[in-house]
């Protein structure tokens, strides 16, 4: 299968190339990056030199599937013509994640260029939408923060374990902000520093509610706060909610029942693992895993779920390849079975 990558020069695009290099069924046939057009990919990213690709200003040749790693708005502009040519698309931006054009405009500040595609697009969280992804021609890759939060909370929401008042506190490495230099990813500003941002509402919040709301008849109330911490990769989310019936979860038996709910929910999903101790971001560095650890605080009657993943892999490029595998009929884990890099 021949694929193209739009904006290979960003972090998600270069990570796609790294993962796809070892895919036995895929040839990377065309890569774009306008600021580096004409250069060899290995000149921009020496670790990708073995791919022997030239960066082009636009896609070329006959392609079966295209990944877009552009920012929102620019990504829709690039993806719409590709779809009109009958080529399947996995979009890593936010342009097709939300189902309603007015909500997209509210959170992203621009009008959507083709609102009819919002209903058609499948939200690409494979653990919730595997069958729909298999049949899709347009998949909207989830955001990195929502991936960690939704996977952490879906089993509890679906099983009616928690009350609807949810708090998600997420930490991100600096690469989540992209490769362009800004004051918030400048070394001197980030090093030995940590801070909250988007305190009036983060753009990833509507993804979280959109995907969790259908799992329950309750109206969820989600408080979502994000923080930047001085590391390159990783998402660490701590999710909190009151238990719906605290007395039924008392003691070791209740705690084990909770773990069983989570393990049963993800039993058929290769890239979510329920672990016995609070996970660490290094345990997912460079791989496509999301590690979860649900616990009950019997003193307060509250559920806490810790969730970690690599924002550039399960939070971006790895999830995109997972989606491509399903769309193409390949085994879901093809080229994604890497272990984490440690230390």
Active site residues: 144
Spatial strand order of the sheet with 55-56 comes to 55-56, 27-32, 2-6, 65-68, 88-91, 138-140, 122-123
8 Å CB contact between 147 and 307: no
Alpha-carbon gap, residue 16 to 25, rounded angstroms? 15
> What does the block give as tokens for 268?
């058929």
Alpha-carbon gap, residue 187 to 274, rounded angstroms? 34
Question: Radius of gyration of the chain from Cα atoms?
Answer: 20
Alpha-carbon gap, residue 313 to 70, rounded angstroms? 16
All residues at 6 or more sequence positions from 187 whose CB lies less than 8 Å from its CB, including other chains? none
CA dihedral 12, 21, 233, 103 (to 10 degrees): 30
């Amino acid at each position: 299968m021949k694929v193209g990558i739009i904006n290979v020069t960003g972090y998600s695009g270069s990570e796609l190339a790294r993962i796809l290099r070892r895919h036995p069924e895929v040839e990377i046939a065309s890569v774009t990056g306008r600021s580096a057009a004409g250069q060899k990919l290995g000149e921009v990213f020496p670790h990708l030199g073995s791919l022997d690709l030239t960066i082009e200003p636009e896609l070329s040749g006959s392609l079966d599937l295209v990944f877009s790693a552009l920012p929102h708005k620019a990504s829709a502009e690039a993806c719409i013509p590709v779809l009109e040519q009958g080529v399947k698309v996995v979009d890593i931006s936010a342009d097709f994640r939300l189902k309603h054009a007015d909500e997209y405009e509210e959170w992203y500040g621009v009008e959507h260029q083709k609102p009819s595609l919002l209903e058609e697009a499948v939200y690409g969280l494979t653990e919730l939408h595997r069958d729909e992804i298999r049949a899709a021609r347009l998949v909207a890759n989830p955001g990195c923060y929502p991936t960690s939060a939704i996977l952490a909370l879906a089993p509890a929401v679906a099983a009616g374990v928690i009350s609807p008042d949810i708090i998600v506190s997420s930490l991100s490495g600096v690469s989540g902000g992209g490769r362009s230099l800004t004051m918030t990813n400048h070394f001197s500003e980030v090093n030995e520093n940590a801070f909250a941002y988007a305190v009036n509402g983060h753009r990833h919040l509507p993804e979280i509610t959109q995907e969790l709301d259908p799992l329950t008849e309750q109206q969820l109330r989600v408080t979502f706060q994000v923080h930047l911490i001085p590391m390159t990769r990783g998402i660490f989310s701590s999710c909190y909610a009151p238990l719906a019936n605290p007395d039924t979860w008392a003691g070791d038996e209740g705690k084990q029942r909770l773990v069983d709910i989570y393990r049963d929910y993800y039993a058929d999903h290769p890239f979510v693992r329920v672990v016995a101790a609070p996970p660490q971001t290094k345990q997912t560095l460079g791989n496509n895993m999301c590690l979860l650890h649900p616990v009950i605080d019997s003193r307060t009657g509250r559920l806490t779920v810790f969730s970690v993943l690599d924002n550039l892999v399960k939070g971006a490029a790895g999830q995109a390849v997972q989606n491509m595998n399903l769309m193409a009929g390949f085994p879901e884990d093809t080229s994604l079975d890497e272990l984490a890099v440690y230390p």
